[in-house]
C-alpha cells in the first residue's frame, strides 16, 4: 500500500510539468469537438492521434490520448441534448430526457447535469482504477462465453423500461434490432447473411451509422415539416450554471449506483459504454419515485446515463492495463499506443513502469476536471444552434450526418445505408414506435450471437451441457436471477398500468 501511495504522489508531482498539462488541455478540446460531432466516435478520436504520440515520451503520449477518451465520451451529450442526435453510441440514453429538456427551454440545465455527472462518474471510476485494479481484473477473468451471453440477455430485459407507452411496439422494435444485428459475417463460421452483396455490410451494420440515421434523418424531416414543435427560448449556458451542476448531488444514491454499474460493465471486455448507459437508465427508472417523468425531461435520466458511460472509462482500463485485455474498442486503441511505446501490459506494468502508469492515471483525474470548463464553453456556443431557423438547421444537421457517415470508412455506400436506416427511424417516429429498443437490440444482438456460438463450441454443440453449465456456475446463476427479476418487474409494472 505504501508503494502505491508513493507512486500516486510521484504521478501527481509529474503533472506539474507545463507540457503535460498543455497536452491534456489540447486533448480535451479535441475530444470534446470529436464527441460532439455525430459519427466521430471516441475510438476514432484516439486512433487519429496515436501516430502523433510516436515522437513523444510515453507519459506525454498517454496523457494526450487519455484526455481525448474522457472528454469525447462526455461531449456526445451536447448534440444529444441540443439536436436529439447522440454524438457517440454512449449518449443514446441521454437524448431521452436531454432533448425534451431543450424543447422545454432547459438546455442549459440539461448540459449542466450531463457535464457534472460525467465528471463525477469519470472521477470515481479512475479512483477505482487507481486502488482496485487487481481485484477488479480478477473479476473480469471470471466471465466466460456463457456469462457474456446471459449478460446480453439481461440487457434485452431493459426493453420493458424503454417501452412504457406500448410494450408490444417496444418488443417489436427490439426484435427488429436483433434481426439487424445478424447482418454480415457469422462470428465463428464466417457465413455471409443478409448483405444483398454489399461489401460494406460484410462486417455488420455499423452502430454509429445506425444511430446517425435513426436520429438525424427523422429530426431533419421533423424540423422541416409541420410536425416539428417550436423550441422555447432558453437561457444561455453560463447563467446559474454552478447551481444547475450541483443539482446532481440531490441524487447521491443514483450517482453511486450508476457509477458502480459503469465500472462493472467497463471491466467486462466487449460490453462498452452504451450497454452501461442502458442498464443504468433502466435502474434509475425502476428506483425512481416518479418513473412516469422519464422521457419527458427528467434530471435522473440524464444523470444515470452520463454518470455510467463515463464510469466505463476507468473500468475499461482495468483489464487493459493489468491483463492486456481491452474493455472496449477505445481502450484497445489506447493499449496499442501503450505497446508502441514499449510498455507491456500486465501486473508487472505497475511495478516495472510505475512512474509512467501512475502519471497516466493521475492525468485522467485532471482530464475529468478540465473537460468541465472546456465542455461548458463549447456547449455555450453550440446551444445557439437551437435558435437557427428550421430551414437552415435541417440541412445543417443533414450535412453533419452525411459527413459523419462518410468519415467512418470513406464510403458513399455507408451514407446510403444511413439514409435507409433513417427512413426506418422516421417511420418508427411517425407510428410512435420507440427507437431505443432497436438500438439496444442492435448493440446486444451481435454480442449475444457471438458468445452463444462460442459457448456452444466449448461444449461441442451439446445444449444439455450448456444448460447445466449455466445453472451450476454461481456468476451465471446471479445474472439469470437479475434477468428474471428485471422481467418480472417490467411485466408487473405493465400489468398494473393496464389494469
The CA distance from 209 to 417, in Å, is: 8
Does residue 302 contact residue 294 with C-beta atoms inside 8 Å?
A: no
pTM exceeds 0.75 for this model: yes
| Alpha-carbon distances of 292 from 163, 165, 250, 462, rounded to whole Å | 12, 10, 19, 44
List strand residue ranges (DSSP E) for 170-261, in order. 184-185, 192-193
Cell 476514432 belongs to: 44
Backbone φ/ψ region at 371: left (φ over 0), alpha (ψ -120 to 50), beta: alpha
Q: What is the pLDDT of residue 26?
A: 93
Q: What is the pLDDT of residue 227?
A: 45
DSSP states of 389-403 as a string? -HHHHHHHHHHHHHH
The CA distance from 184 to 250, in Å, is: 46
Does residue 246 contact residue 298 with C-beta atoms inside 8 Å?
A: no
From the CB of residue 56, how many other CB atoms can be counted at a distance below 10 Å? 16
Each residue's pLDDT expressed in tens, for the chain with a length of 499 residues: 556 677 777 777 788 889 999 999 999 999 998 888 876 778 878 888 888 888 888 889 899 999 999 999 898 899 899 888 888 888 888 989 998 998 888 888 999 999 999 999 999 999 888 887 777 777 777 888 888 888 888 877 777 666 666 677 888 888 898 899 999 988 777 888 888 888 888 888 888 888 888 888 887 887 777 544 555 545 445 556 788 888 899 899 999 999 999 999 888 876 778 889 989 998 998 888 888 888 889 999 999 999 999 999 988 888 888 877 777 778 878 888 888 777 888 777 777 788 888 888 899 999 999 999 998 888 887 777 766 777 777 788 888 888 878 877 888 998 999 999 999 999 998 888 888 888 888 888 888 888 888 888 888 888 888 888 888 888 889 888 888 887 777 677 666 666 6
**187: DSSP letter:** T
Number of residues assigned to the chain: 499
- Residue 190's Cβ-count burial label (10 Å; 0-12, 13-18, 19+) is exposed
What 3-state DSSP class applies to 328? Answer: coil
Residue 104 φ/ψ, nearest 5 degrees: -90, 5
Q: Please, which residues bridge with residue 184 across strands?
A: 193
Q: What is the pLDDT of residue 333?
A: 82
**204: DSSP letter:** -
Cell 459503469 belongs to: 262
The CA distance from 446 to 452, in Å, is: 10
**Taking Cα atoms as reference points, which of 128, 104, 97, 499 lies closest to residue 288?**
97
Q: Name every residue whose Cβ is closer than 8 Å to that of residue 217 and which is 6 or more positions away in sequence.
A: 398, 401, 418, 419, 421, 422, 423, 425, 426
Does residue 391 contact residue 94 with C-beta atoms inside 8 Å?
A: no
Q: Which helix (H) or strand (E) holds 24?
A: helix 18-36
Q: What is the pLDDT of residue 458?
A: 85
Q: What is the pLDDT of residue 228?
A: 47
The CA distance from 419 to 399, in Å, is: 12
**Taking Cα atoms as reference points, which of 211, 140, 143 lies closest to residue 436?**
211
The CA distance from 266 to 276, in Å, is: 8
The CA distance from 306 to 317, in Å, is: 18
**Taking Cα atoms as reference points, which of 331, 353, 311, 374 lies closest to residue 24?**
374
Amino acid at each position: 500500500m505504501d508503494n502505491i501511495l508513493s507512486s500516486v504522489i510521484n504521478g501527481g508531482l509529474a503533472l506539474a510539468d507545463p507540457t503535460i498539462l498543455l497536452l491534456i488541455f489540447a486533448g480535451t478540446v479535441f475530444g470534446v469537438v470529436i464527441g460532439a460531432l455525430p459519427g466521430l466516435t471516441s475510438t476514432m478520436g484516439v486512433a487519429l492521434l496515436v501516430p502523433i504520440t510516436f515522437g513523444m515520451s510515453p507519459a506525454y503520449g498517454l496523457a494526450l490520448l487519455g484526455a481525448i477518451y474522457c472528454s469525447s465520451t462526455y461531449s456526445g451529450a451536447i448534440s444529444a441534448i441540443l439536436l436529439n442526435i447522440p454524438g457517440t453510441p454512449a449518449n443514446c440514453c441521454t437524448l431521452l430526457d436531454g432533448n425534451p429538456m431543450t424543447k422545454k427551454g432547459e438546455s442549459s440545465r440539461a448540459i449542466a447535469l450531463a457535464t457534472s455527472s460525467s465528471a463525477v462518474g469519470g472521477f470515481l471510476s479512475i479512483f477505482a482504477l487507481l486502488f482496485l485494479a487487481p481485484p477488479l481484473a480478477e473479476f473480469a477473468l471470471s466471465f466466460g462465453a456463457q456469462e457474456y451471453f446471459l449478460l446480453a440477455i439481461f440487457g434485452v430485459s431493459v426493453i420493458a423500461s424503454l417501452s412504457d407507452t406500448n410494450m408490444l411496439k417496444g418488443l417489436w422494435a427490439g426484435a427488429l434490432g436483433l434481426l439487424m444485428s445478424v447482418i454480415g459475417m457469422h462470428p465463428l463460421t464466417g457465413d455471409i447473411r443478409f448483405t444483398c452483396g454489399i461489401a460494406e455490410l460484410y462486417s455488420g451494420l455499423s452502430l454509429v451509422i445506425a444511430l446517425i440515421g435513426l436520429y438525424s434523418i427523422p429530426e431533419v424531416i421533423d424540423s422541416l415539416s409541420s410536425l416539428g414543435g417550436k423550441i422555447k427560448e432558453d437561457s444561455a449556458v453560463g447563467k446559474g450554471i454552478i447551481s444547475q451542476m450541483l443539482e446532481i448531488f440531490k441524487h447521491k444514491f443514483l450517482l453511486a449506483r450508476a457509477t458502480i454499474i459503469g465500472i462493472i460493465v467497463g471491466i467486462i471486455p466487449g460490453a462498452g459504454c452504451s450497454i452501461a448507459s442502458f442498464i443504468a437508465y433502466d435502474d434509475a427508472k425502476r428506483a425512481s419515485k416518479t418513473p412516469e417523468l422519464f422521457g419527458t425531461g427528467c434530471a435522473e435520466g440524464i444523470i444515470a446515463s452520463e454518470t455510467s458511460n463515463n464510469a466505463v472509462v476507468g473500468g475499461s482500463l482495468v483489464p487493459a492495463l493489468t491483463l492486456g485485455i481491452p474493455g472496449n474498442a477505445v481502450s484497445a486503441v489506447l493499449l496499442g499506443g501503450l505497446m508502441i511505446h514499449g510498455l507491456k501490459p500486465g501486473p508487472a506494468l505497475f511495478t516495472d513502469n510505475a512512474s509512467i502508469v501512475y502519471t497516466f492515471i493521475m492525468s485522467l483525474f485532471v482530464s475529468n476536471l478540465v473537460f468541465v470548463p472546456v465542455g461548458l464553453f463549447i456547449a455555450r456556443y453550440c446551444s445557439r444552434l437551437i435558435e437557427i431557423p428550421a430551414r437552415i438547421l435541417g440541412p445543417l444537421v443533414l450535412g453533419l450526418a452525411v459527413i459523419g457517415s462518410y468519415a467512418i470508412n470513406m464510403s458513399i455506400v455507408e451514407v446510403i445505408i444511413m439514409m435507409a436506416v433513417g427512413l426506418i427511424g422516421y417511420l418508427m417516429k411517425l407510428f410512435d414506435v420507440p427507437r431505443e429498443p432497436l438500438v439496444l437490440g442492435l448493440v446486444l444482438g451481435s454480442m449475444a450471437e457471438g458468445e452463444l456460438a462460442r459457448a456452444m463450441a466449448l461444449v461441442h454443440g451439446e445444449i444439455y451441457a450448456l444448460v447445466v453449465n449455466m445453472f451450476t456456475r454461481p456468476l451465471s446463476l446471479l445474472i439469470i436471477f437479475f434477468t428474471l427479476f428485471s422481467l418480472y418487474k417490467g411485466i408487473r409494472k405493465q400489468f398494473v398500468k393496464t389494469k
